């Protein structure tokens, strides 16, 4: 297990390095400069600013400097907010993102498990049909449309929740729901398929032959077996939440990382773009690693082969 973990962490670092390198060069290919009013500045002024931020050096030198600093934990200072370190900027904004992201994920997955199992148990009934329609809507409606609809109806018309902004639990509800839509739909469809499969298996038939009640069968045998494979989609779901948060945070004006990321790209704030990209990819790699470990813990068949290594 230790050997396995060490190998996985080595690959994680390698992946992060590759992502950092590719992003660095791609980012430099983007049109525009970090300067706000380039037209008004003289050539020497631009040169001074570039010198100040090290942007006058050859690309490879900038790259080496960045990587060397990043390895030491220094992700540079933001261009748009003078004298704010990127790590400080991210740190101050990660809270709201983490809260709505986690809430959205948990809400979506739990609701998805309930709906998915329910529609599998009541296969081909109106329950199943309704759940199906809801999941397909959840998958196909883009999150910005859904977020705006929520904002308009529940925020503006019914005035149940704050329209936008950040402050207190109430303000997290609409963004959470908007973020939860996609993981909910994915989980629901996934669990339904798995559970229908499991319910048709021989060991469920055997459980029925044992005289177990419907509830006992679902609870003790079907649920566990259909939820194990769900762990594999948690990774992709986390990606969905991260990308979704960029849009949702913008719509609800939440001072989170997603909102900051979009802004930074628009103004070519190179250090912030790099920092957030590394954060996102690091989180994703971590989620995938945890997923694999958890999968091994909850599925006895995999646990055994892990022991043999």
Partner 1 sequence: MDAEKNILEVQDLTINFHTYAGTVQAIRNVNFHLKKGETLAIVGESGSGKTVTTKTIMGLLANNAEVAKGTVKFHGKDILEMSEKELQAIRGRDIAEIFQDPMTSLDPTMRIGRQIAEPLMVHKGFSKSKAEKQALEMLKLVGITNAEERVNDYPHQFSGGMRQRIVIAIALVCYPEILIADEPTTALDVTIQAQILDLMKELQEKISTSIIFITHDLGVVASMADRVAVMYAGKIVEYGTVDEIFYNPQHPYTWGLLNSMPTLDTAKGQLEPIPGTPPDLLEPPVGDAFAARNPYAMKIDEEQEPPFFKVSDTHYAATWLLHPDAPAVEPPAEVVRRQKIYQERLSAGTINQGHIHSKGNTAFAGADDDDAIGE
Contact residues toward partner 1 (CB under 8 A) are: 201-203, 205-213, 216, 220-221, 224-225, 228, 298-301, 304
The nearer residue to partner 1, 171 or 225, going by C-beta atoms, is 225
Record the tokens describing residue 250, joined without a space: 């913008």
How far apart are CB 60 and partner 1 at their closest, in Å?
Answer: 53
d(CA 181, CA 14): 33
3-state secondary structure of 77: strand
How far apart are CB 109 and partner 1 at their closest, in Å?
Answer: 19
The nearer residue to partner 1, 186 or 225, going by C-beta atoms, is 225
Q: How far from 172 is each of 22, 180, 258, 276, CA to CA, in Å?
A: 34, 12, 15, 22
How far apart are CB 136 and partner 1 at their closest, in Å?
Answer: 25
The nearer residue to partner 1, 40 or 301, going by C-beta atoms, is 301
How far apart are CB 198 and partner 1 at their closest, in Å?
Answer: 10
d(CA 204, CA 107): 29
The nearer residue to partner 1, 1 or 304, going by C-beta atoms, is 304
Which DSSP helix (H) or strand (E) runs through 239?
helix 231-251
Residue 265: partners with Cβ closer than 8 Å, 6 or more residues away: 30, 273
The nearer residue to partner 1, 56 or 299, going by C-beta atoms, is 299
3-state secondary structure of 212: coil
d(CA 56, CA 51): 6
How far apart are CB 121 and partner 1 at their closest, in Å?
Answer: 13
Residue 155 DSSP symbol: I
The nearer residue to partner 1, 149 or 206, going by C-beta atoms, is 206
Q: Among residues 103, 285, 126, which one has the least CA distance to residue 181?
A: 103
Q: What are phi and psi of 308, to 5 degrees?
A: -70, -20
The greatest distance separating any two alpha carbons of the chain, rounded to the nearest whole angstrom, comes to 86
How far apart are CB 123 and partner 1 at their closest, in Å?
Answer: 10
d(CA 249, CA 251): 6
The nearer residue to partner 1, 48 or 205, going by C-beta atoms, is 205
d(CA 284, CA 242): 9
Record the tokens describing residue 80, joined without a space: 């748009």
């Amino acid at each position: 297990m230790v050997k396995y973990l060490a190998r996985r962490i080595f690959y994680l670092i390698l992946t992060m390095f590759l992502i950092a390198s590719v992003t660095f060069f791609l980012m430099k290919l983007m049109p525009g400069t970090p300067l706000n009013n380039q037209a008004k500045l003289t050539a020497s002024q631009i040169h001074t600013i570039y010198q100040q931020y090290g942007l006058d050096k050859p690309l490879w030198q900038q790259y080496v400097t960045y990587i060397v600093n990043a390895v030491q934990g220094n992700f540079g200072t933001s261009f748009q907010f003078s004298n704010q370190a990127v790590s400080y900027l991210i740190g101050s904004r990660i809270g709201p993102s983490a809260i709505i992201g986690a809430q959205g994920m948990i809400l979506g997955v739990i609701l998805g498990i309930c709906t998915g199992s329910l529609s599998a148990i009541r296969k081909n009934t109106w329950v199943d049909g309704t759940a199906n329609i809801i999941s397909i809507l959840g998958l196909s409606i883009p999150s910005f449309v859904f977020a705006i609809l929520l904002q308009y109806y529940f925020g503006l018309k019914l005035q149940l929740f704050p329209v936008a902004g950040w402050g207190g639990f109430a303000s997290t509800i609409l963004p959470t729901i908007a973020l939860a839509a996609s993981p909910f739909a994915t989980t629901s469809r996934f669990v339904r398929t798995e559970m229908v499969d499991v319910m048709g298996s021989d060991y469920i038939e055997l459980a029925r032959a044992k005289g177990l009640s419907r509830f006992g069968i679902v609870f003790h045998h079907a649920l566990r077996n259909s939820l194990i494979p769900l762990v594999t989609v948690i990774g992709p779901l986390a990606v969905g939440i991260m990308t979704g948060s960029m849009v949702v945070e913008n719509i609800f004006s939440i001072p989170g990382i997603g909102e900051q990321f979009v802004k930074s790209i628009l103004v070519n704030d190179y250090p912030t773009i790099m920092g957030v990209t590394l954060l996102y990819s690091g989180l994703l790699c971590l989620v995938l690693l945890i997923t694999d470990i958890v999968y091994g813990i909850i599925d006895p068949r995999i646990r055994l082969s892990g022991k043999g290594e």
